[in-house]
Structures are given as structure tokens and as C-alpha cells.
Amino acid sequence: MLKPLRRFTLSPEKSPFFYLLPVLLFMSVMVAYPIARVLYFSFTQNILTRPDLGVTFVGLQNYVTLFQSAEFWATFTRTALWTGLSVAGKSLIGFLLAWLLAKEIAWKRFYMALLLIPWVTPMVVAAIAWRWVYDGEFGMLNWVLTELHMLSDHYVWLGHKLSAFVATAVTDMWLGIPFMAMLFLAGLQSIPREVLESADIDGASSFQRLRLIILPLMKPVILVATTLSAIWTFNSFGVIWPLTKGGPVNATTTLVVEAYQRSFGAFDIGMGSTIAIVIFVILMLFTLVYYRALMRREEL
Amino acid sequence: MKRRGLMLSIVLVLVLAGCMPQGESGDGPAQITYFHPGLEQPEMREMIDELVQEFEQKHPDIDVKVQSVGWDQSYQKLVSGFNAGEAPDVIYGGSRWIASFAAMQAIQPLNAEGEKRLALYPKPLQKAARYQGKAYGIPRGFSSRTLIYRTDLIEEPPQTWEELVQVAKKVQQEHEGIYGFGVAGAKHVSTTTQYFNYLFQNGGQVFDEKGNVKLNSPEAAEALQFYADLYRKHQVVPNPLEYNREQLPILFKEGKIAMFVCGPWARQMMARAPDNEKTPYKAAPLPKGGKMANTLVSDSLMISAQTEHPEAAWTFIQYITSPKEQTQYDIERNTIPLQTKEAEDPFFQNDPYVREFVKMIDYGKPQPAPKAWEPFEEIVTQAVQRALNGEKAEKVLDDAAAQIKKQQLEPK
């Protein structure tokens, strides 16, 4: 038998550090190091395929160039609009579905299973399937609309700026709705039955119930869900790239598509990293909001 | 306890043995990897596998592993590979990539034998495989462009731009649900070559002899305006923004378009006679603008600068590009003869489809050679898409030329 070692006793205050050490090491290698490296790259001029231009440290020059270009602000606005459209759609439809599913209806489990399909579909697979739905010549959407006589001629959904913008957002909604619906459903079910019953007794209409009881009680859940969804949507690359590659022209070029194009199309690592850092900062702000919303929820 | 310790050590030994490098001793066959884009098409894969097998039988000391991703991702995969030190030894890729790969010192110049082999090819192809005077590639695939048209709908293929519009309109009037013509406008390399055909025919240039950008010349603008008008004014093509050239043969096969411009591989993507009763077709010279011209695109074989087996890599290239193998390869793939001598093979003279492509070689203009291709492609595609969206051709080309200058892409 081994003798117990006395030399390595630790105070309860200090010992957690050692327990956390493996994870901390792992996180610093897998997360902190790449971020630091991208940050460093963003201070350099470095185009991999253009060694003739040289690799130099340029300080904040990339950021200055970026913030001075009108194109960047256009992309920024576009990203905000696209994210807003998609998150709004996801929240509204998600809430509607959750509200329907919270009722006592037949076939509830079946509907729940159906709802989960978009969630378990890999993003790129879904995007490619939707590409065919939107196709101008062979697309299902055109077929349905012409059969219903809502459209007289085929429309190329991904070939026009506005329709491509909306169509990519709709695909993104389709993928994001199940998550929202599930969160909202959980939120709805946590509303105390007594409150709703007493509202009924007081003669509240269902709209009043929704506006005065359900929504206020759901506020923390809604806040958490939309913020989380906004973070994911802002970074949504797997939907836009297979559908349009940021086109037509640049109608669906969001910041993350732009960062990808710069880094892996032109191999302009400096500028690509700069955009990546900008995205990082924006998402940090979102995360902050999320964190606050979550904390407040726990207080409840 | 003892037994568990024994088990543990056995497992450990087995695991460690699994980690040991195997067959790295000097006398095993030299392993090289061959990167060939676009082998997701089974016929292509089969052909390359057969070629490699034949080679391995004749050269038992060399072991070739085939690697492939789609054409769309190839450039990216290669550049990342070079940077990670994991590049394939022998690379099949667009000749348009040679300039940046050579500048990155990612590929190595060929030896004296390589120079000798390169001399077997037509002059424009030799030029495309050189960078700063040194040979970096052996041409492998090569294509000119023709107009492919429905013989049941069109009696005489159009010979000028005006006729092209007329014929296309006539087809649309006479037949429901079909477009007269099809062009590409998606974000894809083919959108540049599709447009450049008209640019060259109109006497335009992308870069002049000194390497200055000439994309915003009146000739180039007129050509782009015509290209965009096919969609906007004449409405004889389906919305080009949705399609790249590789999708045109499919639209054609499905009876959605009556004419399109493509390279010889289009035949593999459509049905061949006599299986194409519904959409019979023929190839014809392009309808000409100011003069006859078309863009010649070539692919080349290159050797990575990181390879550990440069001799084996060269032996492989030498074998697959030997006049006999190359002729066989071109006949099987239905492409056009690559080496000057090959054109004498009766196949290329007798096949009425291939013959038209061979004829177009004489009117060929090489693809422009910017310092780096991909950003150039992005700029030009953007300009084409903006024109298709209704913006003035002069304006978008001015912007494009300014971008090319700003990113220092001019081949000076």
C-alpha cells in the first residue's frame, strides 16, 4: 500500500485551478491561440498568392481602409437587415408554432417530430435542396405557383437581387424555426396554469391573454432565444454560400461571406482577418446582451 | 491487478505499433500523389484510375495516389495545401494558376526534358505554361469554343451577332417554352470566358502587350452591353445570373435552350447520337462580331516544389503526356488534339463534332494572365453581373479596371 502524500495538499480556494487546468489548456490551444493569430494577421498585409507584394506589418491600416470604404458599410447594413429579417421570421413563426403545439391537440407528437426535421438536416444539404426549390427552370416553387395561377411565368428567385436576399433568409428561417419553437414551447409550458385559469375566469379574451400574460411572462425566454438566434444567423455562411455565393452581384454578401471571399478566394489573409475580427467584436456585443438576459432570467 | 497491468501493456504496445511509420524504408516504391480536379464524375474517375493503373504496372517502383475535389474548390484546396506543407506532388490545374503558384514558389520549374516535351505543343499553349521565361507546366487539357445548336429547330446556324439574336427570337416565336440561346452569368470561372469571347470578337483586349488593363475600352464595353442585352433587351436567354456554363448543356438536354456556347466536353454532358432523338445537335463556328475569335483555355500538369520525389513526379507526367497516351486521352475524352502532331490523327479530322472545335483553334486568343486569377475572376464576374442587372457597361467596366489596378493584378 502507498502512503498518502502529504506534500501536495491544497487549500480549497486554490485547488479548483488545478482541476480546471486541462480544460484551460485545451481552450487556450483551440480557442485563444487561433483568435490571437487572426488578430495578429489583421495587422498585416499578407496576400498568400501574391508574394510579390510582400508581407508587412501595417498596424491599424487594414481597419482604416475597411471603415473608410463605402462597400464595407453597405455590407454591414445588408448583414444587419438580413439577420433582422431572418431572426424576425424565425421568432414569429417559431412562436406561432409553439403556441399551437402548447394546446391540447391530436397528433401532437407527430407534429413535434415533423418540426424537428429541419433541425436535423445538415445545413448545406438543406441549402442545396432549397437551391432546387428556387430554380428558375426546374424549381418546385415556380411549379406550385404557376399551377395555382399565382405566377404566369417562371421567376428566377436567386437571379434577382431582392428575391435572392429574401429567399436566402427564408431558407435560413426554415433551418432555425425548430430551435425557436422548442424554446418557446418550453417557455409557454412553464407559465403557471393558475394564472391563465384566473385570467379566463376574469373573462380575458385570448388576445388579451397573449398580450397581458403570456408575452410578459415569456419575455426572458424570448430575449434569450432571439439573441442566441441573432448570433448564429449573423454568422450564417452555410446557407448563403451554397445558394448564391453572395450573389447576384453582391445582394447576399454578408460580412461572413465577405470575410470568406477575402480569405479563401483572394487569399488576402490580412483583410480577411480584419473583417473576421470585426465580426468577432460585434458578436461579443451580442453575447454580452445574451449573458445579461440569461442572468436576469435566473434571477426570476 | 497484475493481469490488468499485463493487458494494459499489451494494448499499449499494439497502439504504439499502430503509430509506427510503415514501409518508409528506402527500397519500397516511391509514393506520389496526383491531384486531378473534378473526378466526382464517375466516367472521369474511371479513366484516371485506369491510366494510373497502367502507369503503375509499367513503373512498379512508383506508387500513385489519386486525389480530387471539385473544380470549384480546387484552387482553394491547393493554396491551403501549399501553406500547410501538404501539397500533392503532381498537380493538374488551370494554366491560369501557374503565375501565382510559381510566384509563391509552390511549383518548381521543369528540367531540360520538360522543356523538350513542352516544345511538342502549339505556341500559345507553351506561353501559358511559362512564368518569367521558365517552363512550369505541361499542357494537358485544352479547349476552344463553338456554338452548339438544335438541328431540328434551326436550319442554318447564325453567323453574326445580329443573326444570333434573330435566330434565337425566331426559335422562341415558333416554339413555346424554349429560349433561343443561353449564356452564363453565375459566380464561376466560366462567366469570364463566356464574356471574353464577345470581347475578343469585338477587337477588345483585357490586357495589352505591356500588361496594362484595357478592360474599360469602348470595344469591351460594347461587347458587354451586347452580352447583357441578350438577357435584358432581346430576352433570348434564361436569367444568366442563375447559371454557370456547366449547367447550359443540361438546360439544352432538357429542351430549355436551343443554342449555347461551350467547350467540347459538352457532348459528354448531353446525350450522344443516336440517343438524343429529342434534342439533336451539331457544333458550328461561333457567330462572329467584328472578327472571329474565341477564348482558348488550357490546363497543365505541374510539380509541387515540396515534393520528395521530383523524379518520380516527372516520370509520371512524362508517361501520361507521351504522344500515344495523350492522343488516346483526348479521343476518349472527346477533347481537341493538344500536341501539334496529334491533330493529324484521323479521329480529329473525321468526327464532325470535334472537327468544328479543331477549326476554332486558329481563331483562339489565350485566356488573360493576371498576377493572380481568382481575385481577377471575382472582379470580372461582378462587372458582368452588374451589367446583367441593368447597369451601364461602361460604368461597371471602369470600376472593374480600377479594381484590377488597385489590387495590382496587371501582369506587368
Architecture of domain A85-248: Orthogonal Bundle (1.10)
Q: Per residue in B101-128, pLDDT tens?
A: 998 899 999 988 889 889 888 887 888 8
The answer to whether A266 contacts B389, with C-beta atoms less than 8 Å apart, is no
pLDDT at B199 over 90: yes
Burial of B323: CB neighbours in 10 Å, binned 0-12, 13-18, 19+: middle
Candidates A137, A161, A246; nearest CB to B238 = A137
- Residues of B with a Cβ under 8 Å from any A Cβ are 76, 79-80, 83, 100, 103-105, 185-187, 238-242, 251, 254, 256, 371-372, 374-375, 378, 382, 385-386, 388-389, 407-408
Q: What percent of chain B has pLDDT over 70?
A: 92
Q: If you ran DSSP here, which 8-state letter would residue B95 be given?
A: G
Q: Which three cell numbers stand for residue B69?
A: 475535389
Helix (H, G, I), strand (E, B) or coil at A45: strand
Residue linked to cell 461551350: B262
3-state SS class at B306: coil
Predicted confidence (pLDDT) at residue B412 exceeds the cutoff of 50:
yes
Neighbours of B373 (CB within 10 A): 23
A239 vs chain B: nearest CA distance in angstroms? 16
A118 Cβ contact partners less than 8 Å away, ≥ 6 residues apart: A126, A174, A175, A177, A178
pLDDT at B271: 67
What is the tens place of the pLDDT at every residue in A79-97?
Answer: 999 999 999 999 999 999 9
**ipTM, interface predicted TM-score of the complex:** 0.79
Burial class (CB in 10 A: 0-12, 13-18, 19+), A266: buried
- The CATH architecture one would assign to domain B146-293+368-406 is 3-Layer(aba) Sandwich (3.40)
Task: Centre a 10 Å sphere on the Cβ of residue B59 and count the other Cβ atoms it contains.
Answer: 16
- Per-residue model confidence as pLDDT tens digits over B69-106: 988 889 989 999 998 888 999 999 999 999 889 988 99
Helix, strand, coil percentages for chain B (3-state, nearest 5): 50, 15, 35
Q: Locate all alpha helices (DSSP H) within B262-389, ordered by sequence.
A: 266-269, 310-320, 323-333, 346-350, 352-361, 373-388
How close does chain B come to A215, measured CA to CA in Å?
43
The dihedral over CA atoms of A266, A270, A272, A275, expressed in degrees to the nearest 10, equals -150
CATH number of the domain at B27-143+297-362, please?
3.40.190.10
DSSP alpha helix (H) spans, A121-214: 123-134, 140-147, 161-189, 193-201, 206-208
Q: Tell me, what's the pLDDT at B323?
A: 86
**Nearby residues of B324 by Cβ (< 8 Å), 6 or more positions away:** none
Q: How many whole angstroms separate alpha carbon B356 and alpha carbon B191?
A: 22
- Name the closest residue on chain A to residue B80, using Cα atoms: A264
Q: What pLDDT digit, counting tens, does each position of B170-180 carry?
A: 999 999 889 99
Cβ–Cβ gap A266/B375 under 8 Å: yes
Helices (H), A103-150: 108-120, 123-134, 140-147
* Rounded Cα gap, residues B100 and A281, in angstroms: 33
Identify the pLDDT of residue B14.
54
pLDDT at B7: 60
Q: Nearest C-alpha of chain B: how many angstroms from A289?
A: 36
Domain boundaries, chain A: 37-68+256-279, 85-248
Nearest to B127 by CA among B274, B317, A233, B136: B136
- Report the alpha-carbon distance of residue A78 to residue A250 in Å, rounded: 10
DSSP string, B180-211: S-B---SSSHHHHHHHHHHHHHTT--SB-TT-
Q: Count of residues for chain B?
A: 412
- Buried b / exposed e over A169-205, threshold 16 CB at 10 Å, is bbbbbbbbbbbbbbbbbebbeeeeeeeeeebeeeebe
Q: How far apart are CA B88 and CA B106, in angstroms?
A: 11
Which residue in B has a C-alpha nearest to residue A131's C-alpha? B242
Q: What is the DSSP code (8-state) at residue A264?
A: I
Q: Which residue has the cell 451601364?
A: B392
Residues near B68 by beta carbon (within 8 Å), at least 6 away in sequence? B35, B36, B37, B38, B39, B40, B45
Q: Strands, DSSP E only, in chain A?
A: 44-45, 56-57
Which cell goes with A167?
A: 429567399
Choose the closest CB to B385 out of A48, A248, A267.
A248
> Grid coordinates representing A49?
498568392
Distance from CA of A268 to the nearest CA of B (A): 9
Tens digit of each residue's pLDDT (9 = 90 or more) over B271-317: 666 666 778 899 999 998 889 999 888 899 999 999 999 999 999 99
pLDDT value at residue B195: 95
- Mean pLDDT throughout B141-148? 89
Instruction: Note the pLDDT of residue B1.
Output: 45
What is the percent of chain B with per-residue pLDDT over 90, rounded to a whole number? Answer: 49
Q: How far apart are CA A220 and CA A187, in angstroms?
A: 9
Report whether A185 contacts A112 (CB < 8 A).
Answer: no
Segment B13-29, tens digit of pLDDT: 555 555 444 444 456 78
Size of interface A-B (CB pairs under 8 A): 77
What are the domain boundaries of chain B? 27-143+297-362, 146-293+368-406
The predicted pLDDT at position A138 comes to 84
Residue B327 to residue B348: CA distance in whole angstroms: 10
Q: Tell me if B172 sits within 8 A of B180, measured CB to CB.
A: yes
| Amino acid occupying residue A34 | P
Residue B283, φ and ψ in degrees, nearest 5 = -100, 145
Q: Does residue B269 carry a pLDDT above 90?
A: no
- At residue B300, the 3 state secondary structure works out as strand
A49/B79 Cβ within 8 A: yes
Helix axes B393-406, B373-388, angle to 10 degrees: 160
The amino acid present at B164, given as its one-letter code, is L
Q: State the cell numbers at A26.
A: 485545451
Burial of A236 (0-12, 13-18, 19+ CB in 10 A): buried
pLDDT in tens, chain A (300 residues): 555 556 667 777 778 888 889 999 999 999 999 999 999 999 999 888 888 788 889 989 999 999 999 999 999 999 999 999 999 999 999 999 999 998 888 888 899 899 999 989 999 999 999 999 998 888 899 999 988 988 888 888 998 999 999 999 999 999 999 999 999 999 998 888 888 888 888 888 888 888 888 888 888 889 889 999 999 999 899 999 999 988 788 899 999 999 999 998 888 999 999 999 999 999 999 999 888 878 876 655
pLDDT confidence of residue B56: 93
